């Protein structure tokens, strides 16, 4: 038995020796533009932590973060070539494959979406479920983003025509709070800390909540990959060390979040993320702690669940020849898990 254990330890040591130099190789491209849609949202907390804790710099990267206010806009920036990588919803990798463009996720940041749909308190008596949203103005981070698609999914399941609910982009922070509280929208599909702020202000009644595994499965039937790190396939091929460095930095952020207290997290982010109330932000972090990925890997079940979600939202996916294996490459996160300390 002792010989077997000794051999196993030696084997792992040999693997580590092989992985170490590969992980330490200099990035091909050190100055990077990274897109995101709503950086202050807890959906993208690992990105902010990687930035604020210096994890990108540790990997030899100089990352400029471009906040486009919505995930669809950051995807457009990637396709257009103005950013090199995106932290954005996994579903975009599937949607781009349908358009014959290879966009690949290399790291799962969120395993539950954390998306909440709620209605203004003055409409609460009349709106109990998604079916009651017909005719109401619905705020989302940006049209085409995951908050929008989730709303469309629930409307479709409820038999409500999508064109009967006007969709309005309200951004990702204080502007979203103001949109509902000023009556510019009647309901909202959004994320924390915006949702927690609206609840604390007594302005919102929640009707759908995917901040927990139970709530996520109630909506989608399975877990649902949320934020990821994704890049163009040709960029990954040309810059494997850079891709690894980005993955390492964000994986380290995930591990930091896993053990950090909500108070530590609040202290690490810019004060403007608190929306004027640090205690509320801390409560929001507590409510969302379970949403972050534990492994960084998108499971086959979750990947299939996302495709089924898209088939409901966009009928053109029903017969689309989608190869889900091309939407997520676990190579980089597997190496990060073996080497990042």
Tell me which residue has tokens 């109401």: 136
My answer on whether 334 and 228 are in the same domain is yes
Percent of the chain with pLDDT over 70: 93
Strand order in the sheet with 31-36: 62-67, 31-36, 85-89, 227-232, 103-108
Question: What pLDDT does 24 receive?
Answer: 59
Nearest residue to 206 (alpha-carbon basis) of 304, 92, 124: 124
My answer on whether 85 and 125 are in the same domain is no
Question: In the predicted model, is pLDDT for residue 59 greater than 50?
Answer: yes
Can you give the pTM of this predicted structure?
A: 0.85
Collapsing DSSP to helix, strand or coil, 223 comes out as coil
Q: What is the mean pLDDT of the chain?
A: 90
Average the pLDDT over 301-311 and give the result: 92
Question: In the predicted model, is pLDDT for residue 54 greater than 70?
Answer: yes
Examine the fold and report which residue of 209, 243, 270 is the final residue of a domain before the chain moves on: 209
Question: In the predicted model, is pLDDT for residue 103 greater than 60?
Answer: yes
My answer on whether 96 and 129 are in the same domain is no
Examine the fold and report which residue of 209, 236, 259 is the final residue of a domain before the chain moves on: 209
Cα–Cα distance between 269 and 283 in angstroms, integer? Answer: 14
Whether 14 and 333 have beta carbons less than 8 Å apart is answered as no
Question: What pLDDT does 14 receive?
Answer: 40
What residue numbers bound the domain in which 260 lies? 2-112+224-339
My answer on whether 193 and 273 are in the same domain is no
Tell me which residue has tokens 């008596």: 125
Question: In the predicted model, is pLDDT for residue 16 greater than 50?
Answer: no
My answer on whether 287 and 248 are in the same domain is yes
Average the pLDDT over 327-337 and give the result: 98
Average the pLDDT over 112-120 and give the result: 95
Tell me the pLDDT tens digit for each residue of 216-254: 999 988 888 999 999 999 999 999 999 999 999 999 999
Sorted by sequence, the CB contacts under 8 Å of residue 172 that are 6+ apart come out as 37, 38, 39, 40, 41, 67, 69, 70, 141, 191, 194
* 247 against 68, higher pLDDT: 247
Question: What pLDDT does 8 receive?
Answer: 38
Tell me the pLDDT tens digit for each residue of 126-178: 999 999 999 999 999 989 888 999 999 999 999 999 999 999 999 988 999 99
My answer on whether 104 and 228 are in the same domain is yes
Average the pLDDT over 247-266 and give the result: 98
Cα–Cα distance between 21 and 176 in angstroms, integer? Answer: 46
Number of folded domains that form the chain: 2
Tell me the pLDDT tens digit for each residue of 278-292: 999 999 999 999 999
Question: What pLDDT does 27 receive?
Answer: 97
CB-hemisphere CA count at 13 Å for 235?
26
My answer on whether 232 and 303 are in the same domain is yes
Question: What pLDDT does 269 receive?
Answer: 98
My answer on whether 130 and 260 are in the same domain is no
Tell me which residue has tokens 């030899």: 60
My answer on whether 144 and 292 are in the same domain is no
Question: In the predicted model, is pLDDT for residue 19 greater than 50?
Answer: no
Tell me whether residue 64 is exposed, middle or buried, using C-beta atoms within 10 angstroms of its C-beta: 0 to 12, 13 to 18, 19 or more.
Answer: exposed
Whether 74 and 44 have beta carbons less than 8 Å apart is answered as no
Question: In the predicted model, is pLDDT for residue 3 greater than 60?
Answer: no
Tell me the pLDDT tens digit for each residue of 182-208: 999 999 999 999 999 999 999 999 999
My answer on whether 196 and 239 are in the same domain is no
Cα–Cα distance between 52 and 273 in angstroms, integer? Answer: 13
214: in domain: no
Tell me which residue has tokens 């020796």: 17
My answer on whether 158 and 291 are in the same domain is no
My answer on whether 141 and 173 are in the same domain is yes
């Amino acid at each position: 038995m002792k010989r077997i254990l000794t051999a196993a330890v030696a084997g792992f040591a040999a693997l580590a020796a092989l992985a170490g130099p590969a992980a330490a190789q200099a990035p091909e491209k050190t100055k990077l533009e990274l897109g995101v849609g709503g950086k202050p949202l807890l959906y993208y907390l690992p990105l902010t932590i990687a930035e604020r804790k210096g994890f990108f710099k540790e990997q030899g990267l100089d990352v400029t973060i471009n906040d486009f206010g919505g995930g669809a806009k950051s995807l457009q920036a990637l396709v257009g070539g103005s950013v090199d990588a995106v932290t954005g919803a996994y579903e975009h990798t599937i949607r781009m494959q349908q358009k014959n463009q290879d966009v690949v996720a290399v790291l799962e940041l969120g395993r539950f979406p954390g998306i909440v749909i709620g209605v203004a308190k003055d409409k609460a008596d009349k709106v109990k479920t998604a079916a009651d949203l017909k005719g109401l103005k619905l705020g989302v981070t940006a049209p085409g983003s995951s908050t929008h698609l989730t709303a469309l999914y629930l409307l479709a399941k409820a038999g409500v025509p999508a064109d009967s609910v006007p969709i309005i982009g309200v951004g990702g922070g204080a502007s979203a709070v103001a949109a509902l509280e000023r009556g510019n929208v009647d309901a909202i599909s959004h994320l924390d800390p915006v949702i927690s702020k609206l609840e604390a202000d007594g302005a919102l009644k929640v009707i759908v909540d995917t901040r927990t595994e139970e709530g996520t499965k109630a909506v989608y039937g399975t877990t649902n990959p949320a934020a990821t790190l994704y890049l163009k396939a040709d960029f990954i091929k040309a810059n494997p060390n850079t891709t690894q460095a980005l993955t390492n930095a964000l994986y380290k952020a995930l591990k930091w979040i896993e053990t950090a207290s909500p108070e530590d997290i609040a202290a690490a982010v810019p004060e403007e993320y608190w929306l004027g109330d640090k205690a509320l932000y801390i409560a929001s972090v507590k409510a969302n702690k379970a949403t972050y990925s534990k492994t960084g890997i998108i499971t086959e079940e979750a990947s299939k669940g996302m495709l089924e979600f898209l088939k409901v939202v966009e009928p053109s996916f029903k017969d689309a020849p989608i190869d889900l294996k091309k939407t997520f490459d676990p190579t980089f996160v597997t190496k990060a898990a073996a080497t990042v300390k």
